């Protein structure tokens, strides 16, 4: 399973600046989506070849130093519970504050790696001032400056060394995991109850009834997998309660650790911004996706309604439009088993392996007749293709000048892969490699 790192500390010590700096190390796929609010609290980063997820707890502690101690305790304890390692950030300008000591008291009792990062150290005088943070009793500290990245390398070296290695074999042997995700009150728990035929989950009209991500083993109709019900994910401005923020955090973790996301949306609300955020979160993690339009029985329909609704969704999720969309009604049990059958197909597509000989036989003639555009008078020749041995579909195209192959042509190659081999519902990664 992936590693999660929580950045904790009181307000205004520079957690978000540090967070943004690490997220910017990621590939530009994030740029494809504008206004993804959750990117401010959640993102993926990697260092020395080890990937991890970063959770920024910033913005959820209201006010300043007069915050109730129990609120700080609640926030930090919940972050600690979910994370594999913790970065505790303090500010050299303010020195050791009462709130820092409060957080340190909790962290000293934790049996997980804790890294004390003293921020805003951008000159020698401040580096000497940082000595007072030894008084927190957390051992050595790392002096950093989030604003320009100074010192972050040493901190990250120590961090990734302390993170447990991901056991890919163990993950491969486990049952497939299907996460049921979406906004609050979209019908996620009702969907699972309808599938398993019993009231396993509490269902109310109150948003946020489900707090945890809960696994259910499902083995009917010849399918066997784990269904994960998650708390609803909603906008930062709507997340008032610390507990609800960590429900969102657990949902994010459920998405990371699943194989297929069943994205349930309320047809009466439409495919709004927050549903799109969840979709892009799943896509960015390279998970299979099935979009389930629930409460379809409540929509006034004519013979074009479903077609128009589907067209709108595909416009919003472009360029990754090869995603199954199933219109369901959990209340009337309409097409709920069709939803599961579709998810199983997507899972099979995600784990599909294509022989290298077949890939080259099918795609090389197409590439020869549609070569990459010349760049600065240089011509790119693609000679060989192979699928990489990764849990999701990734393909390497070996050529003489990989740096001259631009995004439009990579999309052309992805579309050819989709046209000739069924990858319905699964993101594909295309890499150009030096021959």
Binding site, by residue number, is 9-16, 56-60, 119-122, 182-189, 229-233, 294-297
Burial class (CB in 10 A: 0-12, 13-18, 19+), 350: buried
**What are the start-end ranges of the E strands in 241-341?**
260-266, 288-294, 325-327
Q: Coil, helix or strand for 189? A: helix
Going by the DSSP 8-state scheme, the letter that residue 304 receives in this structure is T
Per DSSP, helices labelled H in 285-426 are 305-317, 336-350, 356-369, 407-420
Is residue 118 a contact partner of residue 92, using CB atoms and an 8 Å limit? yes
382: which strand partners?
Answer: 399
Is residue 151 a contact partner of residue 142, using CB atoms and an 8 Å limit? yes
Give how far Cα 187 sits from Cα of 182, 231, 270, Å.
Answer: 9, 11, 14
Is residue 290 a contact partner of residue 342, using CB atoms and an 8 Å limit? yes
Going by the DSSP 8-state scheme, the letter that residue 114 receives in this structure is E
Of residues 111, 105, 116, the one with CA closest to residue 158:
116
Torsion sign, CA atoms 110, 112, 116, 119: negative
Q: Coil, helix or strand for 401? A: coil
Is residue 117 a contact partner of residue 142, using CB atoms and an 8 Å limit? yes
Of residues 39, 45, 6, 16, the one with CA closest to residue 119:
16
Cβ partners under 8 Å of residue 40, min gap 6 = 16, 19, 20, 56, 59, 236
Burial class (CB in 10 A: 0-12, 13-18, 19+), 9: buried
**Nearest 5 degrees, angle CA 318-CA 323-CA 327?**
115
Is residue 122 a contact partner of residue 148, using CB atoms and an 8 Å limit? yes
Binding site feature residues for GTP = 9-16, 56-60, 119-122, 182-189, 229-233, 294-297
Is residue 69 a contact partner of residue 75, using CB atoms and an 8 Å limit? no
266: which strand partners?
Answer: 294
């Amino acid at each position: 399973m992936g590693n999660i790192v929580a950045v904790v500390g009181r307000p205004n010590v520079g957690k978000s600046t540090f967070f943004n700096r690490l997220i910017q190390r990621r590939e530009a796929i994030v740029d494809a989506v504008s206004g993804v609010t959750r990117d401010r609290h959640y993102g993926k980063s990697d260092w020395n070849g080890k990937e991890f997820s970063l959770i920024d707890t910033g913005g959820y502690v209201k006010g300043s130093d007069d915050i109730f101690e129990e609120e700080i305790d609640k926030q930090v304890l919940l972050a600690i519970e979910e994370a594999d390692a913790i970065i505790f950030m303090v500010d050299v300008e303010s020195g050791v504050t009462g709130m820092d000591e409060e957080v340190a008291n909790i962290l000293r009792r934790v049996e997980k790696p804790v890294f004390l990062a003293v921020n805003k150290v951008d000159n020698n005088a401040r580096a000497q001032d940082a000595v007072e943070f030894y008084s927190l009793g957390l051992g050595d500290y790392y002096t950093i400056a989030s604003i320009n990245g100074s010192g972050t390398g040493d901190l990250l070296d120590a961090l990734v060394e302390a993170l447990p290695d991901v056991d890919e074999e163990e993950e491969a042997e486990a049952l497939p995991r299907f996460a049921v995700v979406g906004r609050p009150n979209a019908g996620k728990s009702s969907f699972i109850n309808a599938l398993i035929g019993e009231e396993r989950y509490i269902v109310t009209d109150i948003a946020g009834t489900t707090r945890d991500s809960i696994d259910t083993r499902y083995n009917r109709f010849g399918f066997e997998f784990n269904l994960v019900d998650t708390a609803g994910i909603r906008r930062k401005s709507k997340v008032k309660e610390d507990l609800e923020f960590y429900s969102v955090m657990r949902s994010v973790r459920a998405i990371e650790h699943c194989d297929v996301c069943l994205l349930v949306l309320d047809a009466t609300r439409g495919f709004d911004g927050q549903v799109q955020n969840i979709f892009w979160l799943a896509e960015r993690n390279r998970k299979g996706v099935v979009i389930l339009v629930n409460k379809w029985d409540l929509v006034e329909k004519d013979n074009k309604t479903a077609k128009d609704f589907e067209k709108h969704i595909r416009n919003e999720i472009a360029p990754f439009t090869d995603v199954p969309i199933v219109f369901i009604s959990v209340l009337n049990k309409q097409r709920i088993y069709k939803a599961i059958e579709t998810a199983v197909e997507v899972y099979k597509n995600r784990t599909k392996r294509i022989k290298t000989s077949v890939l080259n036989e099918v795609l090389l003639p197409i590439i020869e007749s549609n070569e990459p555009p010349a760049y600065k008078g240089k011509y790119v020749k693609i000679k060989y293709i192979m699928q990489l041995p990764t849990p999701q579909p990734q393909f390497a195209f070996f050529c003489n000048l990989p740096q001259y192959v631009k995004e439009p042509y990579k999309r052309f190659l992805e579309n050819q892969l989709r046209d000739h081999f069924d990858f319905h519902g699964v993101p594909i990664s295309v890499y150009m490699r030096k021959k």
